[in-house]
């Protein structure tokens, strides 16, 4: 594959470079008919230890292309991004709407490209807007509290909850650094920003990763709140880098080599809007390569997080239709897989609560529904039996 960028002319021609409305994406989903080109039919429950938490609440939210979700400090309210109306919607596990706010624009409390959400320690919610390069804080009912300009490119992935400061990771747009991945350092930069003044308190390039993985690059990293970093690599490999430089490379026992289904391809086209917005449209060659390459292990580069006990959770693409799976690690060791219902789009964790945003794919494989129903589900994970002590070191 070369670096030439030209319009995609395959079965989803024309969708990579423009905004997908719910109706356009629905047509992609219908055209896919969910026909699989799967290289392995091994059932998802045949590898690893699958744990099923109790479902304790659910709410309906609008269909969206965004994966963002944040569970707020009370443990009940969860907020998601409605990408097509440029709004944030907050709901509770009884199905009630707590607040809806935002709208397209550049004024106070408006958004251009709301890309992610973060929980405030005082019960607020913060919205990362990669289009306007700013971070805006609201009460869950929609009252605007504060706005601050984000550093760097303004496109940051949050690393956790915020208080007086907010932290996020910026991924390089420099082609050579991106091609090299995390091995030589400089692939990503961690920022910490004082919210009141807008002053950058910390700017730290992710450290070089002193190991190699045979299947390819080591890529996206995230700081461990207890020290060190964790990095994603290819084919289900995960690299844990301790503060003293010690590295542990683990391949998830749940990883399966599967080619993307038609539904995966349709969603891939939708997700490429992020790169098209940065002036990097998806080439024909890249789409062709995606269709011939086993799907990645992780759901998305930023859909992994640490819980209060130090366990690291990662949303996976395993199975990913009627049920979805999150793998969990402790000190570099796999300790279990958590199963949730429906097609997972994003998740957040607070104490013993797991909150997920999902698509409910109604209908049969031959006659899927036109637009999936989007929902938020709350689970109690407090009583799960892990393959390791309850807290990591």
Determine the Cα angle at 114 with ends 30 and 371, to 5°.
Answer: 15
Give per-residue pLDDT as tens, 236-245: 999 999 988 8
- Whether residue 234 is contained in a domain is answered as yes
Tell me, what's the pLDDT at 202? 95
Tell me, what's the pLDDT at 370? 63
Q: Is the pLDDT of residue 125 over 80?
A: yes
Tell me, what's the pLDDT at 302? 84
Q: How many CA atoms lie within 13 A of 191 on its CB side?
A: 22
- Whether residue 386 is contained in a domain is answered as no
pLDDT greater at residue 175 or residue 10: 175
Pairing of β 237-241 and β 229-232 = antiparallel
Give per-residue pLDDT as tens, 84-120: 999 999 999 999 999 999 999 999 999 999 999 999 9
- Whether residue 240 is contained in a domain is answered as yes
Best mean pLDDT range from 104-118, 167-181, 359-373: 104-118
- Whether residue 7 is contained in a domain is answered as no
Coil/strand/helix, residue 360: strand
Q: Can you give the pTM of this predicted structure?
A: 0.84
- Whether residue 301 is contained in a domain is answered as yes
Domain residues for 350?
22-380
- Whether residue 67 is contained in a domain is answered as yes
CATH code, 293: 2.120.10.30
Number of folded domains that form the chain: 1
Report yes or no: 291 and 260 within 8 Å, Cβ to Cβ: yes
- Whether residue 16 is contained in a domain is answered as no
- Whether residue 118 is contained in a domain is answered as yes
Report yes or no: 98 and 141 within 8 Å, Cβ to Cβ: yes
Q: Is the pLDDT of residue 9 over 60?
A: no
């Amino acid at each position: 594959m070369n670096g030439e960028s030209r319009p995609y002319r395959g079965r989803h021609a024309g969708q990579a470079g423009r905004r997908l409305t719910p109706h356009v994406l629905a047509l992609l989903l219908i055209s896919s008919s969910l026909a699989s080109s799967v290289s392995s039919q091994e059932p998802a429950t045949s590898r690893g230890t699958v744990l099923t938490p109790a479902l304790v609440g659910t709410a309906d939210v609008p269909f969206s292309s965004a994966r963002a979700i944040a569970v707020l400090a009370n443990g009940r309210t969860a907020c998601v991004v409605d990408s097509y109306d440029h709004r944030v919607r907050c709901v509770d596990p009884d199905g009630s709407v707590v607040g809806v706010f935002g709208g397209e624009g550049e004024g106070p409390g408006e958004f251009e490209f709301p890309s992610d959400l973060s929980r405030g320690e005082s019960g607020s919610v913060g919205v990362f807007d990669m289009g306007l390069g700013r971070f805006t804080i609201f009460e869950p009912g929609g009252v605007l509290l504060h706005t601050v300009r984000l550093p760097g490119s303004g496109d940051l992935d949050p690393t956790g909850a915020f208080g007086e400061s907010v932290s996020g990771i910026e991924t390089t747009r420099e082609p050579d650094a991106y091609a090299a991945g995390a091995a030589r350092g400089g692939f990503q930069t961690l920022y910490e920003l004082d919210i009141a003044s807008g002053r950058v308190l910390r700017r730290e390039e992710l450290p070089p990763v002193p190991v190699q993985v045979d299947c390819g690059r080591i890529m996206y990293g995230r700081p461990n709140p207890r020290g060190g970093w964790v990095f994603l690599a290819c084919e289900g490999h995960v690299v844990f880098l301790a503060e003293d430089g010690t590295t542990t490379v683990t391949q998830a026992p749940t990883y399966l080599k599967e080619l993307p289904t038609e539904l995966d391809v349709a969603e891939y086209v939708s997700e490429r809007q992020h790169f098209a917005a940065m002036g990097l449209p998806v080439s024909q060659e890249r789409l062709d390569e995606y269709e011939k390459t086993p799907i990645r292990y992780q759901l998305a580069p930023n859909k992994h997080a640490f819980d209060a006990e130090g366990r690291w959770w990662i949303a996976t693409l395993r199975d990913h239709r009627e049920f979805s799976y999150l793998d969990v690690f402790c000190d570099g060791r796999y300790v279990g897989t958590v199963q949730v219902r429906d097609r997972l789009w994003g998740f957040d964790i607070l104490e013993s609560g797991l909150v997920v945003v999902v698509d409910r794919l109604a209908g049969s494989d031959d006659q899927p529904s036109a637009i999936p129903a989007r929902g938020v589900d709350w689970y109690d994970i407090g009583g799960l039996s892990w393959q390791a002590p309850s807290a990591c070191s």
